[in-house]
Amino acid sequence: MQANAFDENSQVIDEGTIRRYEYNLSNYDFNGHGPITPGGVLYYSSNIGALLFAEQMGESVFYKAVDDFGFGKLTGIELPGETGGIYWKPGSENYTPINLNTNSYGQGIAVTPLQIVRMTAAVGNNGVMMQPYIVQKRCNRDGTCVDTEPVMQSQPISARVALKVRGMLMRSANHYVNARQPDDLWLVPGFRVGAKTGTSSIPDGYGGYTGQTIGSVAGMAPLEAPRYAVLVKIDRPIDDIYGIATALPVYRRIVAELMRYDRIAPNNALVGDGQRAGVVYGN
């Protein structure tokens, strides 16, 4: 959307499976969803939708966005041992055209949790990406202190696009607690919250995968004026490899507690049947 390759109302046809470069690429459940918008890609976790929109963008636009969001580069956090992650750009020795297709839905890109949180925070911060830091202030023996000043790193997307993406993430968040349409329940009752689950395959160190996953949820709250970006990741979940039954309950409780901690009043209009404002039950 930032590059005007498509907009929030554009559609592609998600048939569940598509063939590219002699490979069959599929959604996680092999199901198709028909005509699908960018918001629908998030709502249904559609690999095929993401792939088709990435093809509309093309390599130069797609990988510029990857670079602009800081993937493949160090964040500069004040912690030792940071890695920049791994992905292959067009023109590099290991790159092949199918990388655009699989990278579009996250396969073949290794990222750090901090990079995901920073990207999420940028969407919440009207597209402005900030330098992450751990140390709030440095104090000397004489009692003088120096606060760490926030530093802007870049603006990978505009405030207009960030606002549209936040709306998509709110619909994605709420659908996790709605068994059927219409979406009349709220992920965290009383608050507009954004959330998207993720599933990462764990390499076995020999060019393959272990069959285990990392289930995660990333999002921000409250969407009217986001104050918190949150990532929950569960390594090798047993009950649910996708994070919906493992990471998502943790995410909901953390966000509910943060709203109470920050004394942000819930909106009673954002409460569905059987829900209580600010209260999260079960899953």
How do residues 9-28 score in pLDDT, each as one tens digit? Answer: 999 999 999 999 999 999 99
The one-letter code for the residue type at 223 is: L
Tens-digit pLDDT profile for residues 35-87: 999 999 999 999 999 999 999 999 999 999 999 999 999 999 988 999 999 99
pLDDT band at 172 (very low <50, low <70, confident <90, very high): very high
Q: Confidence band (pLDDT; 50, 70, 90) for 282? A: low
The two three-digit tokens of residue 282, written as one number = 């079960």
Averaged pLDDT of the chain = 93
| pLDDT per residue as tens digits for the range 189-199 | 999 999 999 99
pLDDT of residue 55: 97
Write the CATH number of the domain with boundaries 159-270: 3.30.450.330
Secondary structure element (H or E) that encloses residue 124, with its range? helix 113-124
Peptide bond into 222 cis (omega under 30): yes
- Residues 217-249: tens digit of each pLDDT: 999 999 999 999 999 999 999 878 887 888 999
CA pseudo-torsion sign 238, 242, 247, 252: negative
Distance, in Å, from the CA atom of 163 to the CA atom of 231, rounded to the nearest integer, reads 20
Beta strand extents in 126-251 (DSSP E only): 129-130, 137-139, 145-147, 152-154, 194-203, 209-221, 228-235
- Residues 89-107: what's their mean pLDDT? 93
Per-residue pLDDT, 163: 97
CA distances from 172 to 60, 73, 141, 178, 201 (A): 28, 28, 50, 10, 22
Instruction: In whole angstroms, give the CA distance from residue 220 to residue 241.
Output: 22
Query: Which of the residue ranges 160-164, 182-186, 252-256 would you say has the lowest mean pLDDT?
Result: 182-186
**pLDDT more than 70, % of the chain:** 98
Q: Is the pLDDT of residue 283 over 60?
A: no
